[in-house]
Amino acid sequence: MRRVQESIVLVTGASSGIGRACALELGRRGALVYAASRRPSDELGADLRRELGPGARIEAVRLDVDRADSVREAVARISAAGRLDSVVHCAGFGIGGALEDASDDEACAILETNLLGALRVCREVLPAMRAQGGGTIVLVSSIGGRIGLPFQGLYSATKFALEGLAEALSLEVRAHGIRVVLVEPGDFHTAFTDRRTRLRNAGAGSAYQEAFARALEVIERDERGARTPEPVARLICRILEARRPRLRYTVGPAMQRAALQMKKILPGRVFEAMLAATYRVGDRSAPRRGRTT
């Protein structure tokens, strides 16, 4: 495996949050980074270069994962450089509200970005990786892709689906020397919190309005109180340099990572009751406990 400083890496969702942290960390380590997002490329490039200083090997690319032609054009531009060692796919968004309140178009929108966007990126980079005899695809999932989160059901659904896509893809491409890795972050303090949208029917008139408000208060408080996402970026750099990376890595608060183990060993309804108390969606008088996911 190439060292990071010798690598060419595409990072999607690079304008903010985990994607931006990854682009900056890879840039600091000397990689040639193609930082991709829907943000205008000149604006994004100037922003990242200001942070990194002179000499950084970073190129901003306009890429909208919702559009197959946009993904195709961006990857073609990068492939023209001769090779593409790794992809770190971070693009995605969150939407809050009860599943009963979700419309078809809202469900389709988040699936379009969080799941089909990942598929489009993988589909376009795989021919180049096969031709060069290998590469690494890192898909940023979530602990919410292993545990269904109340009032984030659509988001969890997309991440559960991403996990299945990655498992299947890993088997399909391993004979070509391509490695697929899932990174499952817990809470980190990013702009994701402020950019989370709400279902149109989640407000007044929803049977779930009060429960959603209580759960969202817990979620946002924990996200705003968490660390910034640099640990995720450092983990991903280690993954890119690993000779034989695992399929899954979790990163984040210890209690949230422990919840994955608790889900394996606790009876289903016991674990569900624990989550209900954590998110204050059961007995509304139940005291708040430390969040586990």
Helix axis angle, 68-79 to 117-132, nearest 10°: 30
For 243, the 3-state DSSP assignment is coil
Whether the Cβ atoms of residue 17 and residue 39 lie closer than 8 Å to each other: no
Active site residue 141: yes
How far from 78 is each of 33, 124, 208, 260, 270, CA to CA, in Å?
Answer: 10, 11, 46, 37, 49
| Distance from C-alpha of 215 to C-alpha of 226, rounded to nearest angstrom | 17
* Residues 6+ away with beta carbon under 8 Å from 208: 97, 98, 100, 101, 151, 202
Q: Which two tokens stand for residue 174?
A: 């391993």
Q: Choose, from 16, 156, 159, 279, the residue flagged as catalytic.
A: 159
Q: Choose, from 16, 37, 155, 156, the residue flagged as catalytic.
A: 155
Whether the Cβ atoms of residue 171 and residue 208 lie closer than 8 Å to each other: no
Active site residue 37: no
Q: Choose, from 15, 16, 79, 142, the residue flagged as catalytic.
A: 15
Amino acid sitting at position 39 = R
Q: Which residue has the tokens 């139940």?
A: 286
| Distance from C-alpha of 293 to C-alpha of 279, rounded to nearest angstrom | 10
Active site residue 15: yes
Q: Which residue has the tokens 């034989």?
A: 244
Instruction: Output DSSP code: residue 49.
Output: H
Q: Choose, from 7, 16, 79, 141, the residue flagged as catalytic.
A: 141
| Distance from C-alpha of 47 to C-alpha of 255, rounded to nearest angstrom | 35
Amino acid sitting at position 249 = Y
Active site residue 159: yes
- Could you give the residue numbers annotated as active site? 15, 141, 155, 159
